[in-house]
Chain A
């Protein structure tokens, strides 16, 4: 039997290592997100209504959770009335946009994004200034419309 060339051995070994690394990273990502799929998300996330004067369920958004250390940008994790994750929300103050402030490496609750909404909000407890809601929806527009 003809011996396998040393270069080919290195190539196969490299492909195997890369494959294992990618698989491990994907698995880790899935595990990191899984605990966020259902309310409460755990970790440092707190229900927004326990932090500021807002209703438990906000029509159009759902029930919000946030890690207070990430305010005001978030992410806010939004859940429907059954406790299923529906969106990841970021709240970006207008003055921060005007000041060219950077927001980098913001967390995402799920890799699956169905569509994105961006709209102006005049303010509310927790973010009492004009800002933009940037919403990464993990469900369809039809499902999002059911959040009443």
Chain B
């Protein structure tokens, strides 16, 4: 009897300890980022968040991450503006409209977008997409609307706009698959009720299904935002990698920089402990932003999926 008890207990305890590894990873990461950035935060304090210069020269050091925070927000914003309507269209098509035979192959294709490594998106962005955006989007807009500040500059293709487009493509599989799930979770009785009062298919989707799934779709969008904020390689390869005040996102058609691309470009080459600490500080801000976004997203998504039967999460 005693052996039996201890065997089961021991297994449970070991499993519980191993399962805590995720919490340990989270704690260790937070610890590393907080202690690693204490040097730069102690020196510049709040100015680290609001400063725009990045000068590692000893004696004239100045580190501020405002341009990169804004760059992250602007590129992610473009990604949402372009990616979310596309993803919603895809989700609606796959759940409500597509003929049975093509539904599965089409969803495989959309999901394959998620399987492509981000460095390959970057490579494609650098040698292919860049010329599409430069020749067919940026140059025409710049010719006619260049007097508007956000469209000013000389379109070169390696800029904030292209980074936003590539992020839009990369968040589509996330947003589309989660939206598809919450839209399929809408009970059929809702649709049937709407059809019975004479609504067309689109009206059923627009006025009943989408409003029922609203909060879950919002969660899907936030999850996409989280992915866009943390995406590193593809952005690093197409955003042009400006540094210091030049990285302020004043125009869509100028090179910029995001928090992840800043770290990817410079962390290894940082020359002084203070500069290393500045990169770690940028990582800390990135972590806080992404934690905040993801916690909100999970709350929103689980709230809708629970409606279906409680067994989803």
Q: Do A and B bind each other?
A: no
Residues of chain A at the chain B interface (Cβ within 8 Å):
none
Binding site for A on B (CB under 8 A): none
